[in-house]
A and B are shown apart, each in its own frame.
Chain A
Amino acid sequence: MRKNKSMIFWFCLPALLSLLIMFVYPVCRTVIMSFFQVESVTATTADWSFYGLGNYFKIFNSASFMTSMRNMLLIWLVGGVFTLAIAMLMAVIVTSGIRGKKFFRAAIYMPNIISAVALATMWIQYIFNYDFGMLNEIVQFFGGEKVKWLGTDLKFWAMTGSFIFGSVGYYMLIYISGIEGIPQDLYEAATIDGAGKGKQFFSITLPLLKGVIKTSLTFWSINATTFFLWSKMFSPIDTESSTIVPVIYLYDMVFGGKGITTRDAGAGAAVGVVLTLIIIAVYLVTERLFKGSDLEY
């Protein structure tokens, strides 16, 4: 086939420009900005003054940033363990030969495709509602006292719990596609050798899913680090220490939140860089931990 140079150029140009304008230039500028003292996000580079690691010292000395980091870590760890474990359980059940497999798979994935704002609203306004919410109806049915699910004490866990519900489906699909790639004769051989379902899961399924689990860990880390929407929905007007996460902190710093009088775009950029470094670190660690996971079978 003839190579048409001008066609290649014109066909690639818009995509190349999108990449440069939307990703390459902003990422570089954010990294550079994190080393400068910049008040307004719209300030021209002429108004930037070099600050070294000042922004980084500033955020790590900020109590609310450290709270937000602690919340993020909890979401990543606790939310991650529950989400991935439930997703794996669902994936194993759905592929175990049950009837209505397609229905269950579609129904469990469903929360992932609807507007997350709508989903969060359903949880906040119905499930956790103090007066008529589902959880308090259940609690009362068993003779318990109504619980303030959205009070300061429980709010974080209410947020994490509903976020888990909204996330399980996606990871379940990843695991299902992994499980369906495992040859059936491995299980048949194991059954003949007298291995039970539980042993089969830990000796065949889990080791062969290493690559898929690695992928899901990376995706989960990105999701937990860039956590924003659910926090905003649970504390829509005032940022609260029970639900603050780094992106909310960044948002308030750069674009303004209630009670924050000074803007600091430089510190915001530093938050972005820190979060990106965390994602890269998690990626590298999982790559190393799951080394040689692309098994042939």
Chain B
Amino acid sequence: MKKINWKKELRLLPGYIVVGVWVLFTAVMLFWILGASLSTSREIYKGEIFQFASGFHWSNYADAWNAQNVSVFFGNSLLYSVISCAGVLAISAPAAYVLSRWQFTGGKALRIGLVVAMSVPVIMVIMPIYSLSVQWGIKGRVLLVILYIMLRVPYTTIYLLDFFSTLSRTYEEAAYLDGCSGPNTFLKIMLPLVQPAIVTVTIFNFMSVWNEFFMALIFTSSETMAPVGVGLLNIINSMKYTGNVGGMFAAVIIVFLPTFLLYIFMSEKIIAGVTGGGVKG
């Protein structure tokens, strides 16, 4: 073990205090919510949440999961996220590949268009999309998935494009000499080579769709198709009448957990991806 240089550590003390207090605050908040999610509403109001005098109330979770429909919201979010992630890859990876490999008419325009689209605010597209969806008769879950896929195409394409450009062309030349067709070379040789980038971009797409709120609020007409964000808002609004604070905190924990767990296991990769792509995640 490296010897601790106390003089250096002492000089850094103010820094430790600042980040320490910030992280402590975050930790206390999370632990309190976790404690509250296992307590009765009465205990929460009396400020006795960490005594668990009446035991752990796992029933809060059962109540949130079943009675308050969190299972439905959770299933919806999972469905939206997984299908969108797959769909956006199917669209973006081929485009990113050819854009990185060949100069062709309109290629540059497409590239610039994608970069600009990344900073177009959703409010500029939401109204025409709404009327288009009514006109074409697409609605509900299918509509949301299609929108999420198209919304993530610019970011995903540009991100993958950067990675494809770093690959040497010798792979393709060798494949061509062996008589491998263009699309086959892409699928069997090039795509596996950018696998790390695909993993990173998929994590970001997953978190982005899982946490999406604005479109979900506008396009989900009924509770049965609401994802977790909109569902949680509904639970909070109805809690004013039911008074079930414990159940509400249990719902918060359930909504918070998936991306949090993903982060615990992949924080290095996620943090590297935030700034690595040079674009917002």
Contacts and interface: CB of A to CB of B under 8 A. Distances in A.
Interface in B181-220: 182-183, 186, 207, 210-211, 213-214, 217-218
A117 B255 contact: yes
A46 interface: no
Contacts of B92: 15
Interface string B64-101: 00000000000000000000000000111011011101
From DSSP, what is the main secondary structure of chain A's interface residues?
A: helix
B150 A113 contact: no
A134 B35 CA distance: 14
Interface in B40-60: 44-45, 47
A199 B269 CA distance: 34
A29 B128 contact: yes
B22 interface: yes
Contacts of B176: 1-2
A106 B121 contact: no
A235 to B, nearest CB: 11
A18 B111 CA distance: 13
B150 A268 contact: no
A53 B63 CA distance: 53
Q: Which of B19, B22, B121, B173 has the most CB of A within 10 A?
A: B19
Nearest to B156: A15
Q: Please tell me the size bucket of the interface on B.
A: 35 or more
B12 interface: yes
B6 interface: no
Given A7-B183, A19-B153, A98-B12, A132 B47 contact: yes
Interface in A228-247: 228-229, 232-233, 236-237, 247
A204 interface: no
A94 B256 CA distance: 26
B114 A19 contact: yes
List the 6 shortest-distance A-B pairs measured between CB atoms, nearest first.
A15-B95, A26-B125, A11-B94, A22-B150, A26-B128, A93-B15
Interface of B: 8-9, 12, 15-16, 18-19, 22-23, 26-30, 32-33, 36, 44-45, 47, 90-92, 94-95, 97-99, 101-102, 104, 107, 110, 113-114, 117, 119-132, 134-135, 147, 149-151, 153-154, 157, 169, 172-173, 176, 182-183, 186, 207, 210-211, 213-214, 217-218, 228-229, 232-233, 236-237, 245, 248-249, 252, 255-256, 259-260, 262-263, 267-268, 270-271, 274-275, 280
28 contacts: A1-B176, A3-B102, A5-B104, A7-B98, A11-B95, A11-B186, A14-B90, A15-B94, A15-B110, A29-B128, A30-B127, A33-B128, A41-B127, A93-B15, A97-B8, A97-B12, A98-B16, A106-B263, A109-B274, A110-B260, A114-B211, A116-B229, A121-B248, A126-B36, A173-B271, A173-B274, A226-B122, A272-B127
